[in-house]
Structure 1
Amino acid sequence: MSRGRFIALSVVLDAILVNAGIVTAFVLRFGGELPRFNFGAYLGLWPLITLLYLASAYIYGLYEPERIEGAWGIVRGAVQAVTLGTVLVAAVAFFAGPRFFSFSRLAIVIAWALDAALLTLWRLAVLRTTSIQWPEQRVLVVGTTPLACDLAREIDERRGWGYHVVGLVRRDDIEAEDSDCDVPVLGTVADVPALVAAERVTRVIVASPVALRELIEDMAIGNESDVRVEVIPDLYEILIGTVDSTIADIPLMALTHSSVPGWYRLVKRLGDVALSALLLVLLSPVLLIAGLAVLLTMGGPVFFSQERVGRDMHPFKVHKFRTMVRDAEAASGPVLATEDDPRITPVGRFLRRYRIDELPQLVNILVGQMSFVGPRPERAFFVERFEREIPGYRERFRVKPGVTGLAQVSGGYATTPERKLKFDLIYLYHQTLLMDVQIMAETIRVVLTGRGAR
């Protein structure tokens, strides 16, 4: 059984057994009968009761089996979850009014005992009779200090959950750290990228965060293997960041970030489709006037379509109103736009100033090639160049490109690629729906004022 199936089974069985325990408690309390008044209160609240118990089970780690160690951990977690669920149900029933606050006190006590027993027993039975396939986590620990050794031992004790320490690495060849670990020392910090590939490492934990900036940058934004990189933080790191997880009593701070949750991508995509379709209708007069302005002042073609690099380096055609003279790069070849670029026509400068030239990209959004918010798509010619010149540049292609982004509302039209990348990475690692809304709102302000689009 996979970990995902075990968690799904846990949720379903908990929902069934919690309610079975409550119904059985009523039967036991009232001698086989289900009194309409008392039992009716339960029937009116059972969906909410189920959710409260499931939330309590989540709080106490019953759906994160790695957090529960041994049979006693299961018992403790189940009892704590059922106790919290019972308290929450009692509070909800009390505030819901007399109709619902009519549970028999004895029935509540019996239900608490039955639910705690049921949630415990089925887990013990499954864990003792079924082999659960936990995702393998092959861990490389950077450092050989006592703290690194403690971490390695704690990880090794969790082998049953798929953890495996492949080894330790020293800071450098000259400064050897004392080590009394049973785990082999495989090399130095310089060997980490090669060890990650050779040992199929999925997780790097930096237990000696001294003079490791280059390693952190290389592993955090320079790799393409989705290796999770974490550091045991000192006080300074805790003050400027957040602790993401723990192993035993050792805090860990993630330096690489996993992809955003599925619900965020779904909500963002639904919003993109709905808003792009609406704007294409509402802004159709603006699109018509802009197209006519380009046609009358510059002649055809009205639209400028160009291949750009999108998410996961997939090419696609981006559409804009033409703002430059015809064959603008015939003599120079591919070049980036600059402030006061002589190739931009007067009408084109106006369209760029108020971002009207970007409106045809609503079609790109509607078909799923772009989003409203994300790093701006770039041409393959410049992508290849920037990949060679700018560390971590490829990282920005982990997300769908956008019509606007944090770099566009935070800097000028011709901001350097290095500066834009910093803003793109800030967005990539911290994107939320609230941030998307803020960037959209700031974009509207930029459009209305023309700020940053000279």
Structure 2
Amino acid sequence: MTDEAPESEPEPRLLTRLNRRGFRLVMLLDAVGVLALMLVVMVSRFGALPWPTYTVGQYAFSFAVSTLVFLVTFYFGGLYEREPRLGGSGVFAKAARLALAAGSFVALLNLVISGVARQRWEITGRALPFPIGSLVLVILLAGLVVVLNRGIVHVLRTRREGLPRVVLAGDAADLQLARDHVAVNGSELRVVAEVDDPHEIVDVVDRTGATDVLLLSGGWLDLWYPRTIGRLDRRDVTVLLRVGGRETLFGLARLREVAGLPFVLLMPQTMASSQRHFKRLLDLFLVLVTAPVWIVVLAGVALHQLVVAGRPLLYTQTRVGVGGKTFEMRKFRTMRTDAEARGGAQLATRGDPRVIPACRWLRSTRADELPQILHILAGQMSVVGPRPERPELTAGFEQEIAGYTRRHEVPPGLTGLAQIHGRYHTDAEYKLGYDLQYLVNWSPVLDLEIIVRTVWVVLARRV
């Protein structure tokens, strides 16, 4: 078997299919747990119903909204991403931080609700439907509830499936090292197979029903990424890579100890699904909030183009988007209509003679990219991300530059980290370094920072 063999994916179980659609049993447990915690705290402070100030229905509404806020915060904070059963996950620290964030937002909502209550429900005073003192107790205890729920899920899964079924994969010396450690510290797992040929792993996993793969030899990573790791991920098989002492000194985040050896989790995609969903919501929010501005600017630029460049106003080009899929991208036409009649697809250069002189300012200010806001609304692009390239250029870059396909893990952006550091003529490999940094370090704050710096680049006309 080779890594290029046709795939035959097994039919996933019901729970697996639900997981892939985003459902997690632990979501339901967290909802029940947080709601129960709120009720226990209120009863301990104020006794049995009825409680003062508000009706039972008003309290119920407040508790339901507060529980939803906690769940949404937990989701976008990554608490519901699929976690490996092997190695510690540090879930308590993450849950505590997210509970604090959710509690702060609930406090703001309660202030708003109390204002509405004074106006519409004819309730006087400063009473809140969820008292701050009770909310503080919920925040302090929510982390424990989250950890308890994950413990329940772990016990249920272990009873149903048994211990994690592990395949050890690596060279002979690495396999012997793993055997020695498992013999002493391997009570949390069951080794079902050993593989010393990197091309056999998928067959072995299918045959043994393994749930986890411990990749012991780092040299195999180039052979497995991204195709083999993606195939294992679609089978809900976790892949952990052993790292040595030197790598641990580099400050690798989220090291996991399995049988006394340090590992890091390998994922086919850098950004988790919760991060991608949050990024999409952020895109829609930014585009809709700024709509009055960009609609006016778009109309003004269109009128300018009609006068100085004539028709067609827009230039349509096939570009490579998320997942390597192509789409038809539109921008204001700034080049002559016969710009590529002779040379074919070419990268733009400084002082490009194909550019219409009266349209150079559009390229220097990047106003020619404004029609791509419509692609953002359609979900084909993002406000921030790697810039989309043409398929013929992308094919060449993928052959010449290792890791170039990684930039297709997220929708292409109107602007990006590479754009604020580079220019139209900047080398593709140089830009890729910034694109990969963006993927690894993504956060909403980073997106906002890039947007602000893009405005500065445009004003300075440094392209």
User: When the two structures are superposed, what TM-score results if normalisation uses the length of structure 1?
Assistant: 0.65
Which stretches in structure 2 are left out of the alignment for 5+ residues? 1-13, 74-81, 97-126, 135-140, 233-238
Q: For 2:422 and 2:438, locate their aligned partners in 1 and report how far apart those are by CA, in whole Å.
A: 14
Q: In the alignment, what sits opposite 1:149? A: 179
Task: Give how far 1:68 is off.
Answer: 11
Task: Give how far 1:329 is off.
Answer: 0.8
Q: Confirm or deny: 8 A CA contact 2:202 2:228 kept in the other structure.
A: no
What does residue range 405-444 of structure 1 map to in structure 2 within 5 Å? 405-444=416-455
The one-letter amino acid of 1:273's match is L
Task: Give how far 1:432 is off.
Answer: 1.2
Distance 1:37 1:15, change over 3 A: closer
Match of 1:238 among 240, 249, 269: 249
For residues 30-75 of structure 1, the C-alpha deviation after alignment (integer angstroms, 9 at most, x for no partner) is: xxx969999x9xxx99969999x999xxxxxxx9894799xxxxxx
Q: For 2:241 and 2:277, locate their aligned partners in 1 and report how far apart those are by CA, in whole Å.
A: 28
Task: Give how far 1:242 is off.
Answer: 1.7
The one-letter amino acid of 1:216's match is L
Residue 166 (structure 1) aligned with residue 193 (structure 2): yes
What does residue range 293-442 of structure 1 map to in structure 2 within 5 Å? 293-442=304-453
Residue 446 (structure 1) aligned with residue 457 (structure 2): yes
Q: Which has the higher contact order (CA 8 A, sep 6+)?
A: 2
What does residue range 128-277 of structure 1 map to in structure 2 within 5 Å? 132-133=160-161, 139-143=167-171, 144-145=173-174, 147-150=177-180, 152-153=182-183, 157-159=187-189, 165-167=192-194, 186-187=195-196, 191-192=197-198, 194-200=199-205, 205-207=214-216, 212=219, 215-220=220-225, 225=230, 227=232, 228=239, 230-254=241-265, 256=267, 258=269, 260-277=271-288
Q: Confirm or deny: 8 A CA contact 1:230 1:256 kept in the other structure.
A: no
Task: Give how far 1:439 is off.
Answer: 1.3
Task: Give how far 1:396 is off.
Answer: 1.6
> How large is the Cα RMSD of the aligned pairs?
5.2
Q: Confirm or deny: 8 A CA contact 2:230 2:268 kept in the other structure.
A: no
Q: In the alignment, what sits opposite 1:59? A: none
For residues 149-189 of structure 1, the C-alpha deviation after alignment (integer angstroms, 9 at most, x for no partner) is: 24555896445xxx65531xxxxxxxxxxxxxxxxxx33xx
Q: Confirm or deny: 8 A CA contact 1:372 1:403 kept in the other structure.
A: yes
The one-letter amino acid of 2:193's match is V
The one-letter amino acid of 2:202's match is A
Which stretches in structure 1 are left out of the alignment for 5+ residues? 27-32, 56-62, 70-76, 82-95, 104-111, 168-185
Distance 1:304 1:246, change over 3 A: same
Q: For 1:445 and 1:230, locate their aligned partners in 2 and report how far apart those are by CA, in whole Å.
A: 41
Distance 1:380 1:37, change over 3 A: closer
Q: Secondary structure of 1:239's partner?
A: coil
Q: For 1:240 and 1:224, locate their aligned partners in 2 and report how far apart those are by CA, in whole Å.
A: 24
The one-letter amino acid of 1:148's match is A
Q: Secondary structure of 1:372's partner?
A: strand
Distance 1:435 1:338, change over 3 A: same
Q: Confirm or deny: 8 A CA contact 2:168 2:216 kept in the other structure.
A: no
Q: For 1:101 and 1:271, locate their aligned partners in 2 and report how far apart those are by CA, in whole Å.
A: 29
Using the TM superposition, name which of 254-263 and 235-244 deviates more.
Answer: 254-263
For residues 243-286 of structure 1, the C-alpha deviation after alignment (integer angstroms, 9 at most, x for no partner) is: 34332543323454645344433332223223223444313343
For residues 213-261 of structure 1, the C-alpha deviation after alignment (integer angstroms, 9 at most, x for no partner) is: xx43454457672654523241444334223433254332345464534
Distance 1:252 1:224, change over 3 A: closer
Q: For 2:67 and 2:252, locate their aligned partners in 1 and report how far apart those are by CA, in whole Å.
A: 36
Q: Secondary structure of 2:250's partner?
A: helix
Q: Confirm or deny: 8 A CA contact 1:231 1:254 kept in the other structure.
A: no
| Alignment: residue pair count | 377
The one-letter amino acid of 1:410's match is H
Q: Secondary structure of 1:241's partner?
A: coil
Q: For 2:203 and 2:380, locate their aligned partners in 1 and report how far apart those are by CA, in whole Å.
A: 36
The percentage of counterpart residues that share the same residue type is 32
Task: Give how far 1:327 is off.
Answer: 2.0
User: When the two structures are superposed, what TM-score results if normalisation uses the length of structure 2?
Assistant: 0.64
For residues 131-166 of structure 1, the C-alpha deviation after alignment (integer angstroms, 9 at most, x for no partner) is: 53589765443353454224555896445xxx6553
Q: Confirm or deny: 8 A CA contact 1:264 1:433 kept in the other structure.
A: no
Q: Confirm or deny: 8 A CA contact 1:313 1:397 kept in the other structure.
A: yes
* Structure with max Cα Rg: 1
Q: Confirm or deny: 8 A CA contact 1:310 1:369 kept in the other structure.
A: yes
